[in-house]
Amino acid sequence: MELRRVRLPLVDPFASSLGVETERLALLVRAVTPAAEGWGECVAATEPLYSSEHLEGAEDVIRRFLLPMLASRPWSSAGELASVLAPVKGHRMAKAAVETAVLDAELRASGMSLAAHLGAVRRRVASGVAVGIASSLDALVDQVAAHLDAGYLRVKLKIRPGWDLEPVRAVRERFGDVALQVDANSSYTLADTRMLAALDPFDLLLVEQPLAEDDLRGHAELARRIRTPVCLDESVTSARVAATAIALGACSVVNVKAGRVGGYLEARRVHDVCVANGVPVWCGGMLETGIGRAANVALAALPGFTLPGDLSASERYFPTDLTPPFVLDDGHLRVPEGAGIGVDPLAEVLREVTVSSEWVPLRGA
Ligand code: NPG
């Protein structure tokens, strides 16, 4: 296995209640087997502001715990990795990157696409765009106008206390009934219920993760008091938590991110639980390069993904992507059809953006 750090500048700084991202530092995991090579992208950010994981921590866990565990226990396919790695608590983004690399190698060796393996039913997926906290309402409206001109089918606004009602009102007034949702990244408390209820008249598709990650009861309480559907992101760390959240009435929509739940196989189970309960899902994004984006697009092609995802074109974030760019076509991204994740890093770009590389042999596997 290779652990390779890459650094990609972003087109524009991306601001949210979690801070301002000016570049994407990502960790790529590459699984090299006699039959094929596979890639996984670790979505952990450099600082633990979205969840408890962060990039250097994830790299350390992969190097010191996950890979030695894989080397010392018997397993024969990617579907067994989650149980092999179960003794390590948490660290789902680290586990997801390792599982995805192995799964990609396995699928490439057998010639099957990740989309087909997961159960995809679509050849293209609807593309939404996430818009960060802007310097002014005018700047926000200009950004949204440019994204709508590009063809995005839904807009998600980042909100936080002090940047919520006004931006939503400005976008509604200017763009009419555009499909609109907001993401709070857990920046409110139940004491803000009145403010969150003030969003009701704006007919938002959903409000994402208004309260703390561990506050399912609070989300259930809030969901009873506001009309906007409550969607969970950070809170849903597994299919079991998804089932619990739905049973408690804590959400009526779920954002599915493979990194957050430990991999694409668990992400499919989250999808399945939601479908079984009549809860729509959509695919979240974490500023992935083309490697992670390709796998996200495959996931979003499953039948329960009935809302547009945070699945933007490469050029929304990167002047140069690591892979051939994902491009918007009539508001959609095409699901890769090739084996595995269906895309490869461009050798020259990969060389240019690589910050470090380390090989870890997996003897005995
Ligand atoms: O389109 O990839 C994208 C970004 C969508 O807003 C987005 N992601 O909270 O969901 C989020 C947020 C995020 C980005 C979270 C990076 C953590 C890291």
Residues 266 and 124 in one domain: yes
Helix or strand holding residue 174 (H, E):
helix 165-175
Q: What is the pLDDT of residue 362?
A: 84
Query: What is the best residue among 231, 310, 314, 317 to mutate for testing ligand 1's pocket, by most ligand atoms within 8 Å of CB?
Result: 310
Nearest CA to ligand 1 atom 14: 286
Q: What is the pLDDT of residue 166?
A: 98
Residues identified as active-site: 158, 257
Of 276, 213, 282, 216, nearest to 250 (Cα)?
216
Residues 49 and 133 in one domain: no
Residues 50 and 124 in one domain: no
Q: With a 6 A CB cut-off, is 285 part of the ligand 1 pocket?
A: yes
Whether 86 is in a domain gets the answer yes
Nearest CA to ligand 1 atom 12: 286
Nearest CA to ligand 1 atom 15: 286
Q: With a 6 A CB cut-off, is 45 part of the ligand 1 pocket?
A: yes
Torsions phi, psi for 269 (to 5 deg): -70, -35
User: What is the rounded CA–CA span in Å between residue 297 and residue 299?
Assistant: 5
199 CA distance to ligand 1 middle (Å): 22
What is the domain extent for residue 31?
2-111+344-356
Q: Give the ligand 1 atom nearest the CA of 156.
A: 6
Residues 351 and 296 in one domain: no
Residues 248 and 275 in one domain: yes
Of 257, 344, 264, nearest to 99 (Cα)?
264
Per-residue H/E/C for 211-268: CCCCCHHHHHHHHHHCCCCEEECCCCCCHHHHHHHHHHCCCCEEEECHHHHCCHHHHH
Q: With a 6 A CB cut-off, is 286 part of the ligand 1 pocket?
A: yes
Question: What are the 10-residue block averages of pLDDT along the chain, 365 residues in total?
Answer: 97 88 95 96 96 97 97 95 98 98 98 98 98 97 98 98 98 97 98 98 98 98 98 98 98 98 98 98 98 98 98 97 98 98 98 96 66
Q: Which residues 6+ apart lie within 8 Å of 214 measured at CB?
A: 235
Residues 120 and 63 in one domain: no
The CATH number of whichever domain residue 299 belongs to comes to 3.20.20.120
Residues 200 and 234 in one domain: yes
Torsions phi, psi for 287 (to 5 deg): 55, 40
Q: What is the pLDDT of residue 298?
A: 98
Residues 349 and 271 in one domain: no
Total count of domains within the chain: 2
Residues 211 and 129 in one domain: yes
Whether 199 is in a domain gets the answer yes
Residues 208 and 315 in one domain: yes
Residues 322 and 210 in one domain: yes
Nearest CA to ligand 1 atom 5: 285
Of 164, 156, 163, 167, nearest to 131 (Cα)?
156
Torsions phi, psi for 249 (to 5 deg): 80, 25
* Token output for 176: 């009419």
Whether 31 is in a domain gets the answer yes
- DSSP 8-class letter at 65: I
286 CA distance to ligand 1 middle (Å): 4
Residues 15 and 139 in one domain: no
For the whole prediction, is pTM greater than 0.95? Answer: yes
